[in-house]
Structure 1
Amino acid sequence: MDETGKKKHISIGICGHTDHGKTTLVKLLTNQPSRKNELPKDQGVTVEMTVSPYPVSDAIHAALIDVPGHHHYLKNAMRALYAVDMAVLVVAADDGVMPQTIEHIELLSSLGIHEGFTVLSKTDLVDDELYELAVSDVRDALKNTVFKNKPIVSYASVHGKGLEKIRAQIENEARRVCHHSALDPFRLWIDKVKQHKGFGTVVCGTVISGKISVDQPVYLFPPAIKTKARTIESHHEKMMSVSAGQRAGINIPKISAKNVKAGMLMSGSMAVPMTRYLNVRVKALKEIKDHQRIKLFIGTSFVKALFVKIADIDSDMDKACFVQLRTTEDIPCFVKENFILLRLDNNQIVGQGECLEISSLKYRVSKKEETVFYLSSVFYNRKEDMVRGYLNLHRQMVATPETISYYTGIDQIAVDQALKNMLFSGELIQVQNGYYLKKEYEKRLQDVILIFKDILSGHPARNDLNRETVYSRLKYSMTKELFQWVFSDLVSRRRLIETGTNTYALKNFSITLSGDQKRLVDLLLNHADQSGLSPFTMKTVYDIHHGRYERNRLKELLDFLCNEEKIVRLDNDRYISRKAIEDIKIRVNKAIELHGKLNLTDSKKILGYGRTKGAAVFDYLDEIGFTYRVGNDRLLVDKAF
């Protein structure tokens, strides 16, 4: 029974080389021919997987899956074995270990199938000496696999010798099989699609996890098609629900068989990671070159991918490496999912592995250290390091416990405990409703300050910046939510001072001019002094120096001198020295005291130039409260001088 006390359902793959007696064994075990599922035979060779119900015991019910043994049908064999919980490897005593025997052994190892045993068939066709050679041959083939210490049961189909031992060994191995909880989300990788006239589309597969009931909504990935389980069958019997380990045929309404294919994922939730970038651990069985194009088998799907090596792994067990697989299309995938790599040209198995991270970004060498740290943490199941690695890899955002759990595959309780430990040690801070690494947060604060200094140093006339300007200058990705939190924190710490609507100045920041800027400032001050009481324009300076200095630089430094109160900007884009303004105030004061008033026509006599320049000067005196205007006349403000 499973953890709920209900009957445990498992799938058993009957695999091995073609014509070694797999189909006959299934028939004898089930006391009936295996179900005919679409052209099961081609000249005596099993073409597609066939499934037969098999009651192992009162507590365990199995689906026996007859796996195609010919290399031409390797794709069907891989789909057949993907979801099995245990395997029975059939080897004919008169033939011994053959190429597809080795191929199926590699598949079992690659897919993480650890329970099972070997059946040595056709023992009635060999003498004792050949029998011992066959046993030795099998042991040698299995010596580097999890099946190396598993039993080898002798069997002859002609008189049923060994059949009861096979039944007993199946029951013994089946007891060891563990299942995902029925409480996990429902998942089923589709390995077969049928179209029945008047009934609709039926998808078939083994329930990987969770439970599905009639009329429950389901989603097909890609591309997230919503439908429902109209009816459910298991071994040709109608069911109200099926759960992890059971074979199922699920009728989905209003979906054409043309839009569904083997290799798609059926899920009970929309929350399925889709990506083109899988960060994985690979054990190479044959040479695979960096940036080689290969075929990826994951779930029941086959997709082309680019093999991008991240780093070799020091391991005494095998030749392994961390890799990013870049697929040609978005695929659904989950952390800890097993996969197989094949050559594009001949479908030769070249590698096997386990998915460690569902990434949204191409791997960059600059991220090697933190990527390797995270992938190692996932592989060795160091949960707190996984949380730490996730936060480090996703510095652009604030992470919530739910996001971390979804991304890493760690259960919510373990995530909460890891976050609690990191908060207690001072490694984390709480930001909004999530968490952020404290060390990285301090860097984000400093980065914003540095952007202020960089922009203001290059633009001396400016003393404040718009928040959006600062955000646009970030050299890395940061969500607007995190940026706004960082910005508000700097304001609350009084590192930034609000100067207007969405504009801010850096507290206690003084601009240090570069050598070139200092020389140009001196040139402008000298020109202002030489101009005396006469206002000048930026164009005048530009023309005098024959365009040697850029207009923007001249304008920027003139504005800087105005902010520093070294010169005065008039309202007609003319400038005048501060000393000249003081001299003008003396002259204007004397003229008004002598005549009682002053108007624009007096500009030539008092200042030495006419109305065009004079109007701007007199307006400035009004603006600073030195004079005031009555009609066309100017009068002195009381106590103005």
Structure 2
Amino acid sequence: MHIVGTAGHVDHGKSTLVRALTGTDPDRLAEEKERGLTIDLGFAFCTLPSGRQVSFVDVPGHIRFVKNMLAGVGAVDASLFVVAAPEGWKPQSAEHLAILELLGISQGVVVLSQIGLVDDELAELARLDVLEHVDGTFLEHAPVVATDAIDGTGLDELRGALDDLCAATPTAADRDRPRLWIDRSFAATGAGRIVTGTLAGGSISAGDELRTAPGGRAARVRAIQTQSTAVDRIGPGHRVALNLTGVDADDLGRGIALVRPDQWHHTRSVDVELTVLYGLRNDVTRRGAYALYLGSGEWPVRLRVLGPERIAPGQTGYARLHLPVALPLVVGDRFVLRDFGRGQTVGGGTVLDPDPQLRAAVAQPDARIERMIAERGWIEATQLERLTGERVEPVLGGWVAPPELVEALVDDLRQQIERAGPLGLDLAGLDERQRLAVGTLDGVAIEAGRARPADAADVLADHPVIAELAAAPFSPPAPSGVSQRELMALAARGDLVHADGVWFAASAIEAAAARIAGLLSAQPDGVTVAEIREELGTTRKYALPLVGYLDRTGVTRRRGDLRIGGPRLPEVSG
């Protein structure tokens, strides 16, 4: 079973799409049907062509119901991200995408809905607009499926995309520690109290005794349903409905967790890694009025930034959150933080330490930490903290390792640098730890991305091949008397440029860019390669590689048979 949550702006057709896929109307409230607007969470399921089963959590898109949206997406495996072709990308599209990223969602399908309301040209523009907005996010490589839920256009393709998505999404692990965050609680005639949610961490069986958190009230599982089918036992990764006895309705609202007795540490104080959204106007400080969204719940929290007093927009830092109630939290739980006063999403992150009192032992790491380091070798200090709840001083950058591994790394690097000699060792070929270690070595000179013995002459400075190529800037001869390794080193220094098999002096590229900028100033609609060739006094053999390089670096841009100014043209036209 896979759980897929809808996301996207209000009125972009999320609920209509779910209804078309499943035959179930996720809008269950009378007000939702009357207004044609999803207000609260809706649920539906279907079987895909492969036989895989998928449950949908349909969330509201209106800005006033973001807290309901957050209650639904906290436990989904993937996103069905919907953008209406007639309207395109909208503000809530951006906020929903940011929330999904903060919650660690890493899989999804993009749906271009209501495609029947636009012509082919507008549909393509809408698709390109969506691709631009999801670039750099977890959806940048997601399939984009155009659909019309009314006439069925694209629904088969969408089912196939969902099948592929589910095949690539790992199934939930059973760690024998079940936790179910309640997202609905209601009375059923003749059955008593029913709660629903997405089960994680372990299995639940009929007859099990669970505890509410917060509250600690005992509840017995009378019966279990999933996808409208009664079962005796249900595993993690499923949407479930539990019929509970022995507990009052007042103890079973949205945001309450159901767990086994004595399996979870219940905490009112957690240390977290917090990423603040880029684009906010204000830093995150302890002065804000914040709400924590975790699982299916919403809680007011007090926040204290650890270390610096604030975390700026676009930055990641550490904070301690103080909750009004004790919750069953664990390292790795994801959350979203919103500002009550400004009514906006501030950021989100991960629980690092659900029991900050352990920090008293940090000054003298115990044998348990030393054993973990010895068993794992190199380990990031932040990861070690997540595993132990204690902070350990890194030995190299952000890394911790046994002393013998650090010594071996340093010795190996010194040998590599000695073997490289005057040409130097290319730092680009080293891993993160090696690059960090090079910067700590005495007697090593680092220049232009290469490390060499400090007492070795820099054989690349004023290398004769630079002048040889610069003498015929736009028709350079093939380099002679120089090794490929030297050429690549000179390119890394920024002295030479290799463009489609031709070596140019870097000064020639700069001069060509300036000359072409002059041409475009006189002909802003574009110039041909032939005109560029004539301006530079060269041949097609050299003009094509040179122009291709300028295209790739953003100085120019190809439009048909013409070259127009690229985003970096102003840098060279001054």
Report the TM range for the smaller structure's normalisation.
0.5 to 0.7
Residue 302 (str. 1) matches residue 298 (str. 2) = yes
Residue 145 (str. 1) matches residue 145 (str. 2) = no
Query: How many residues are aligned here?
Result: 384
Residue 259 (str. 1) matches residue 251 (str. 2) = yes
Contact 1:38 / 1:48 at 8 angstroms: preserved in 2? no
Residue 291 (str. 1) matches residue 286 (str. 2) = yes
Q: Deviation per CA, 1:223-245, whole angstroms, max 9, x where unpaired?
A: 22122111111122211111111
Q: Secondary structure at the match of 1:282?
A: strand
**Which whole-Å CA distance do the structure 1 matches of 2:264 and 2:237 have between them?**
20
Pick the aligned partner of 1:118 from 110, 119, 125: 110
* TM-superposed deviation, 1:198: 3.8
Q: Which residue of 2 aligns with 1:109?
A: 101
In structure 2, runs of 5+ residues without a counterpart are 371-375, 394-399, 404-574
**Which whole-Å CA distance do the structure 2 matches of 1:340 and 1:379 have between them?**
27
* TM-superposed deviation, 1:35: 7.3
Structure 1 368/66 Cα, relative in aligned 2: closer, same or farther at 3 Å? Answer: farther
Letter in 1 for 2:242: I
Q: Which residue of 2 aligns with 1:54?
A: 46
Contact 2:352 / 2:389 at 8 angstroms: preserved in 1? no
**Which whole-Å CA distance do the structure 2 matches of 1:101 and 1:309 have between them?**
29
Q: CA RMSD in A?
A: 3.5
Letter in 2 for 1:299: G
Contact 2:271 / 2:356 at 8 angstroms: preserved in 1? no
Contact 1:186 / 1:211 at 8 angstroms: preserved in 2? yes
Q: Deviation per CA, 1:584-615, whole angstroms, max 9, x where unpaired?
A: xxxxxxxxxxxxxxxxxxxxxxxxxxxxxxxx
Contact 2:337 / 2:347 at 8 angstroms: preserved in 1? yes
Q: Which residue of 1 aligns with 2:390?
A: 390
Pick the aligned partner of 1:282 from 274, 278, 298: 274
**Which whole-Å CA distance do the structure 2 matches of 1:259 and 1:232 have between them?**
19
Contact 2:215 / 2:251 at 8 angstroms: preserved in 1? no
Residue 234 (str. 1) matches residue 226 (str. 2) = yes
* TM-superposed deviation, 1:331: 2.4
Q: Which residue of 1 aligns with 2:213?
A: 221
Residue 94 (str. 1) matches residue 86 (str. 2) = yes
- Which has the larger Rg? 1
Letter in 1 for 2:193: T
Structure 1 254/153 Cα, relative in aligned 2: closer, same or farther at 3 Å? Answer: same
Q: Secondary structure at the match of 2:136?
A: coil
Q: Deviation per CA, 1:404-450, whole angstroms, max 9, x where unpaired?
A: xxxxxxxxxxxxxx9xx99xxxxxxxxxxxxxxxxxxxxxxxxxxxx
- My pick for the range that moved more, 235-244 or 379-388, is 379-388
Q: Which residue of 2 aligns with 1:516?
A: none
Q: Which residue of 2 aligns with 1:415?
A: none
Contact 1:276 / 1:360 at 8 angstroms: preserved in 2? no
Structure 1 304/35 Cα, relative in aligned 2: closer, same or farther at 3 Å? Answer: closer
**Which whole-Å CA distance do the structure 2 matches of 1:298 and 1:127 have between them?**
42
* TM-superposed deviation, 1:363: 8.4
In structure 1, runs of 5+ residues without a counterpart are 1-8, 394-417, 423-641
Q: Which residue of 1 aligns with 2:409?
A: none
Residue 177 (str. 1) matches residue 169 (str. 2) = yes
**Which whole-Å CA distance do the structure 1 matches of 2:225 and 2:12 have between them?**
31
Matches within 5 A, 1:148-547: 148-285=140-277, 286=280, 287-292=282-287, 293-311=289-307, 319-361=315-357, 380=380, 390=390
* TM-superposed deviation, 1:85: 0.6
Pick the aligned partner of 2:3 from 11, 27, 42: 11
Structure 1 135/332 Cα, relative in aligned 2: closer, same or farther at 3 Å? Answer: same
* TM-superposed deviation, 1:384: 5.7
Identity %: 26
Contact 2:217 / 2:251 at 8 angstroms: preserved in 1? no
**Which whole-Å CA distance do the structure 2 matches of 1:70 and 1:385 have between them?**
39
**Which whole-Å CA distance do the structure 2 matches of 1:382 and 1:140 have between them?**
33
Q: Secondary structure at the match of 1:141?
A: helix
Q: Secondary structure at the match of 2:354?
A: strand
Letter in 1 for 2:57: I
Letter in 1 for 2:295: G
**Which whole-Å CA distance do the structure 1 matches of 2:379 and 2:305 have between them?**
17
- My pick for the range that moved more, 290-299 or 163-172, is 290-299
Q: Deviation per CA, 1:321-349, whole angstroms, max 9, x where unpaired?
A: 01111223322211100000001124310
Contact 1:277 / 1:362 at 8 angstroms: preserved in 2? no
Letter in 1 for 2:97: I
**Which whole-Å CA distance do the structure 2 matches of 1:389 and 1:87 have between them?**
32
Q: Which residue of 1 aligns with 2:429?
A: none
Q: Secondary structure at the match of 2:262?
A: coil
**Which whole-Å CA distance do the structure 1 matches of 2:344 and 2:132 have between them?**
21
**Which whole-Å CA distance do the structure 2 matches of 1:303 and 1:369 have between them?**
35
**Which whole-Å CA distance do the structure 1 matches of 2:349 and 2:263 have between them?**
24
* TM-superposed deviation, 1:38: 7.3
Contact 2:27 / 2:33 at 8 angstroms: preserved in 1? no
* TM-superposed deviation, 1:133: 2.3
Q: Secondary structure at the match of 1:11?
A: strand
**Which whole-Å CA distance do the structure 2 matches of 1:339 and 1:379 have between them?**
25
